[in-house]
Structure 1
Amino acid sequence: MRKKPYLIDGIIGNGRMLLGLTKNGEIQRLAWPRIDGLDQVNRQWAGFVTEDESDIHFFHEDAYQHEQAYIEDTNILQTNHNNEIYNIEQLDYVLPNQDVWVRDFMIKNISSVEKKPTFVYFSDSSLQSQRRFQTTMFDVRNDRLSHYYRDTAMVIAASAQITSYQAGKAFEQLMQNNLEGREILNDSEGVFTIDLGSIPPGESRKVSFFISLASSEEEAAILVDNAKQTGEKTLREATTNYWHMILDKREKRNIPDKVVNDLYKRSILTFHLLQNKETGAFIAGPEVDEDYDYSGGYAYCWGRDAAFIASAVDAAGYHDSVSKFYRFVLTTQNPEGYWDQRHYTDGVLAPTWGIQIDETGSIVWGMNQHYQQTKDEAFRKEIWPSVKKAADFLVSFVDLETGLPMPSKDLWEKREGEHLYSTAAVYGGLMGAASIAKVEGELDVAEAYRKQAEKMKEAVITKGWNDEKDHFNRSLKLSLTKGQYEEAKEAGKKVSITENEKGVKNYILYEDLTPDISLLGLSYPFEMIEETDEQMIKTANVIELTCTSKIVGGVERFPGDVYIGGNPWLISTLWLSIYKFRTGKKDKAIELFSWTTEHANHLGLMPEQIDKETNQPAWVMPLTWSHAMYVLTIKELV
């Protein structure tokens, strides 16, 4: 399979199928049967055979200039391809309730002479992310191309009659303009052409393609046949109406700035693409690093990200979606009471590299936040056993020496230690559990959770504060490599060595002094320490001073960050914006918020990071957490 670019520009889908496309309208990935499913497509290219049959121009290539936008208030993506001969309008969308991807092409002849283009559609499948064992077929009687591998099938049909075709070994034959009419081969490639007839100057021709996925060729064929029979006009209208209906349910906010209001709506539409329609699980983003080249991947459900996302979705008015998410969460809880790092959206445990205790705290905090917003008593009763089990675990997961939660990975998933952000999340979870326990009538249990939370707060204030640096530490008992330990010891820092029962040494730095944007989590959203507390203000000032990106603006996670070059993140910038607003620094809050608004891409999608040198999106587009923080910031500012 070809190596695909890490950055995509647009997404479409229906909560089961998720597609990522470039700004040129080229499909890069198609996840199915879940939004975190395997990539089913290697290449699907559309283009023209030149009239002298000497060459093929695919629309996504540099022979055309490209413009792209979503159709307003929908997840229908329009890409225009223009040159001196043709204006080509391409629409891509997925049917809301069927796993059918529709591609509409309107071809206008803008030259001064009649044209007779031959339309080419080339498909190279990677069903279940396999390059081997694929079979491609062309059904002459029903005029459609199919791929299948085991229990996955893709079927492609067109609104116009197909002229020529080839199943298997198709690309080379296509480039030689020598399609042989082969009907079946155990190969991944297939192609067909359509004669569009004569197009006089100024006139247009339309052709549409229907691409379905199902567990068998027969099922996929039925989906395609039904779509073809319904027709692209009706399908597009139904899809448009569906997304308008979704937006009509949003929390209406008085947002005078049209750009901000459009980004608010785009965030809502994005949430609906990145939530599994059947289970309710949110993913961190569409997958762009499936080989784990620079990360551990993104198309998974993390409790941490999802708790923020759910809070934003609640703020946007979609309470049923949030209830569905937390019901999914109930099914993934570990028997001991905590939640593992991340899951697939069907609830199966995903690849993991260690417990991250802030996630358990965040989930319980989020459950209570949702209950407080909705006062849904049935929901409260349903979650209470899970909340109690989680809170009991959090009470037990305490280092008696420091009073903080025992060592685990931090929210950036890099460092093992006792992190102040994680402590704040656990505090928020315990206080949320106490609130629910009180409503349940379990007053002693509620008091026990509250007392444990207050003990953690006291430990943060007394042991987490660094008098010399005049700000909160990022962590206590940070695990080091042996080399880092030797350097720290040589520098006179407080270090120690412990051993487990197998004699494996753990090298520990007692205080990690690094300023980190996550320290704002002590205040927002977990409300462990007041925004106006002197220690909090000093810490926030140090974060602003040391984490503001010098060239392009925005806020980095922490000094010395090297992930994808160490760039400003949108969530970091918005986190500081919220803090500034809550402490009365409205002008600065708006400045940071505006920076984020300006760094959405041309479609209104928000990346994880902005390159600190080029000022362009640097990684993962869109990041669901970025959109969540944007909505949460709107909630604060508007």
Structure 2
Amino acid sequence: MTLRSALDDYKRTRNDARVFPGERRTTTGTFSGLDERLVYVDRDGWHRDHTYPVSGLSGVNRSRFGIELLDGTSWLGDLETVEQGYVGDTALVRTVHDAGDYTVTQHDLTLGAVHLTRFELKGELPTDPTLQAFFDLTPEHQETRLGKLEHEDTLEVHHHRQANLVTATTEVDEIYGQLPEQFDELLTDTETVSFPREKTGVQKYEDALLNGTVVIEVPFEVDRSGAESVATTTVASLLADLDDTGRKEAVAEVTDTASEHDTVATLRDAAEAQVPVAVPEDTPRRELAVDDLRVLSLLAAETGAHIAGPDPDPFYAYTGGYGYTWFRDDSEIARYLLETDERLDTGLEEWFADSAAFYMDTQLDDGSWPHRVWAHDGTIAPGWAHARLESGDDIDYQADQTGSVASFLSAYLRLGTPSDPDAIESTLELALDGLDSTLEADGLPIECQNAWENMTGRFVHTAATFLQGYAAIARAPVEESIRERALEGAKTVYEGLDELWVEDEEIFALRIDPDGDLDPRLDTGSLALAEAHREYAAVASISDRRINQLAAHFEHTLEGLWRETDAIAGLYRFEGDEWRRRIQDDEKIWTVSTAWGANACTQLASLLADRGDARAETFYTEARRLFEEIDADGSLVMDNGYLPEQLFDDGTPDCATPLGWPHAIRLATVAQLATADQLDQ
């Protein structure tokens, strides 16, 4: 998204009660792109790149497609969209628009750095149609200082090292430039500009040649031999790094890819070959496994790292951005997938190897991991919690991330087949240094930022990740001295958790605040205590008192944070959460909190069942209740299977969509419930 398009969206949506104006929302469409590129396809037929975080390349900022016949141009966004979804298990997106006398069936597929859009018109066509294709192309995120080149039927828009190319399988009739929004148009309070503009000429010949806005007119190939006329064409775009690919090679790549995939059959064959994991037919809740693994593949870079989600807010107007790798989210995704693979044999070993390599490459010298990095190369990304890269105290540091990475690497060393276990052991030994240096004498982590990134203090969630990280290392097949050191750390944190217990309310406090007082609000982050104690139970004993504390805490937390409206139900993050409410008075329901609740209940139930505690069935029931809201037809799940980050009370999805973290939690929860014979049929 450029500043021009952000301001245009702001004018169009600033009075909407449940929209944050100026964002590039992904809550109504579907993504394609399992390789080098991530492309959003809206139900209105246009598409847009969200590629930069996963490859370092940028492309389509805006697009629009229309069908020109004798009576004018019908833009797809003005037609009724009757269907959009994936074809089978693939990332091939099929969208159907109803134009009255004919239908438009659109297939979108991203292969490598090429995005293909195939259009098929079927019905009464009084004359041969022409496709009007508008593109706003932004190589290197530039909206100015661009150049246009035409290579026969292929357009190139270039900046310095990067170029965007567009072509079609049928002969291109005309390519003409468009003026982007001008200063006087941008500065009006309400007036917006619709593209493409009328063909009225330009003031100077270079105006339409030095930017990325362009219209391509493409004739359809028409077959009138049947009862209904059929017209087809395929448009393709390529993101090319000219340092790696020559201009001629780039032109050949985009034209060849388009011509080789000019039918639905060839698109489907390519899409099926692209699917990263073949999910066995007998997999419990197979449709969820397909959805979850597809989303996690969409959000993954070639390094194996995942961005949190497609970034809706590139100008940080309302958030701090989403198109980065957080080590908390990413390592928990890896750990949940590892547990799923152990139980359901999903064949994800290569994913785990990539994740482990990424974590080893990005570990800091003090044993910790940074706030967030770019997924495509692991370099430090903009953030607000990089204190351990700076001089001074550690308050602006998210210590839970180091605990989470240590938990995954330990589990991978124990359950997986790493190619270099010694390297992982060295990483874990250094991670112990990072944990030890941020653990206070009372057994709780230092004052730092929380997982929700909106407070500082000494958090119960951070303590849970430390308990799990230490215990996981103590279980790992590493040198005895490392295990002993880790076990000592785990016991210290286990005892330290008593500092957070609020006796009269029977809960663990959210934190000790910066003034040293207990903050007794309920927080879904505290649900991490269940998995942490389950890990701890493998290396040390848990007292009956602690078990009773956990059961009571969960009962109060699940009851207190549960919300139900006419449209949706689930858990909100924590008491008093004011983030992104817009006009809504109450806290918004989050998919990650609801998924976390379902998973944590299975963990606690399993811990109780291992002790012969009859309360296990109560928490399995709670797990099924929460899981129901994220199941295939759950109230928090979109029609395409996506879990958005959060929802308004009327069911309107909001913010990063899809969010990777809850998809991994959901998959692991299915595996846990199925293994315990607790999954409803």
Matching of residue 386 in structure 1 with residue 427 in structure 2: yes
1:370 is aligned to 412
Structure 1 residues 534-543 or 548-557, which shifts more? 548-557
1:604 is aligned to 641
Structure 1 CA distance for aligned equivalents of residues 228 and 146 of structure 2: 42
2:186 is aligned to none
SS of alignment partner, residue 349 of structure 1: coil
Q: TM-score, normalised by structure 1?
A: 0.86
Structure 2 CA distance for aligned equivalents of residues 73 and 459 of structure 1: 47
1:429 is aligned to 469
Matching of residue 350 in structure 1 with residue 391 in structure 2: no
Contact 1:124 1:190 (8 Å CA) reproduced? yes
Which of the residues 468, 487, 499 maps onto 2:504? 468
SS of alignment partner, residue 393 of structure 1: helix
Task: Give the Å deviation of 1:306.
Answer: 0.8
Contact 1:282 1:325 (8 Å CA) reproduced? no
Contact 2:222 2:231 (8 Å CA) reproduced? no
Structure 1 CA distance for aligned equivalents of residues 529 and 63 of structure 2: 48
Report the CA distance shift for 1:99/1:517 in structure 2 as closer, same or farther (over 3 A).
same
- The percentage of counterpart residues that share the same residue type is 22
Question: Residues 56-205 of structure 1 correspond to what in structure 2 (within 5 A)?
Answer: 56-59=73-76, 61-95=77-111, 98-109=112-123, 111=124, 114-139=126-151, 142-169=152-179, 175-177=197-199, 185-196=209-220, 202-205=228-231
Which of the residues 548, 554, 559 maps onto 1:545? 559
SS of alignment partner, residue 103 of structure 2: strand
Question: Would you identify which runs of 4 or more consecutive aligned residues in structure 1 move more than 6 Å?
Answer: 170-173, 529-532
Task: Give the Å deviation of 1:168.
Answer: 4.8
Deviations 1:354-380 (A, max 9, x none): 211110000010111122221x25342
Deviations 1:125-173 (A, max 9, x none): 122222111112223xx21111111111111111111112214549999
Report the CA distance shift for 1:174/1:280 in structure 2 as closer, same or farther (over 3 A).
closer
Contact 1:103 1:208 (8 Å CA) reproduced? yes
SS of alignment partner, residue 329 of structure 1: helix
2:369 is aligned to 339
Which of the residues 228, 234, 237 maps onto 1:208? 234
Task: Give the Å deviation of 1:420.
Answer: 1.4
Which of the residues 35, 42, 45 maps onto 1:25? 45
Question: Residues 285-364 of structure 1 correspond to what in structure 2 (within 5 A)?
Answer: 285-314=309-338, 315-316=340-341, 317=346, 318-345=348-375, 346-354=377-385, 355-364=397-406
Q: TM-score, normalised by structure 2?
A: 0.81
1:484 is aligned to none
Q: Count the aligned residue pairs.
A: 584
Contact 1:166 1:179 (8 Å CA) reproduced? no
Task: Give the Å deviation of 1:197.
Answer: 6.8
Q: Which runs of 5+ in 1 are unaligned?
A: 480-507
Q: Match for 1:580: what amino acid?
A: C
Structure 1 residues 294-303 or 20-29, which shifts more? 20-29
Deviations 1:574-600 (A, max 9, x none): 222233342323333222111112122
SS of alignment partner, residue 35 of structure 1: helix
SS of alignment partner, residue 562 of structure 1: coil
Deviations 1:87-119 (A, max 9, x none): 000011111xx311111111112x4x6333221
Q: Match for 1:549: what amino acid?
A: R
SS of alignment partner, residue 156 of structure 2: strand
Report the CA distance shift for 1:592/1:253 in structure 2 as closer, same or farther (over 3 A).
farther
Task: Give the Å deviation of 1:453.
Answer: 1.2
Task: Give the Å deviation of 1:395.
Answer: 1.6
Task: Give the Å deviation of 1:298.
Answer: 0.9
Q: Match for 1:211: what amino acid?
A: S
Task: Give the Å deviation of 1:232.
Answer: 2.3
Contact 2:35 2:113 (8 Å CA) reproduced? no
Q: Which runs of 5+ in 2 are unaligned?
A: 7-22, 181-192, 386-396, 582-586, 606-615, 675-681
SS of alignment partner, residue 519 of structure 1: helix
Matching of residue 410 in structure 1 with residue 429 in structure 2: no
Structure 2 CA distance for aligned equivalents of residues 106 and 243 of structure 1: 23
Matching of residue 232 in structure 1 with residue 246 in structure 2: no
Matching of residue 536 in structure 1 with residue 572 in structure 2: no
SS of alignment partner, residue 331 of structure 1: helix
Contact 2:102 2:121 (8 Å CA) reproduced? yes
Deviations 1:368-398 (A, max 9, x none): 1122221x25342121111101112212322
Which of the residues 299, 319, 332 maps onto 1:274? 299
Structure 1 CA distance for aligned equivalents of residues 449 and 195 of structure 2: 53
Matching of residue 574 in structure 1 with residue 614 in structure 2: no
Which of the residues 410, 419, 440 maps onto 1:399? 440
1:491 is aligned to none
Task: Give the Å deviation of 1:526.
Answer: 5.7
2:484 is aligned to 447
Task: Give the Å deviation of 1:607.
Answer: 0.9
1:2 is aligned to 5
Contact 1:408 1:416 (8 Å CA) reproduced? yes
Task: Give the Å deviation of 1:434.
Answer: 2.5
Report the CA distance shift for 1:580/1:325 in structure 2 as closer, same or farther (over 3 A).
closer
Report the CA distance shift for 1:595/1:472 in structure 2 as closer, same or farther (over 3 A).
same
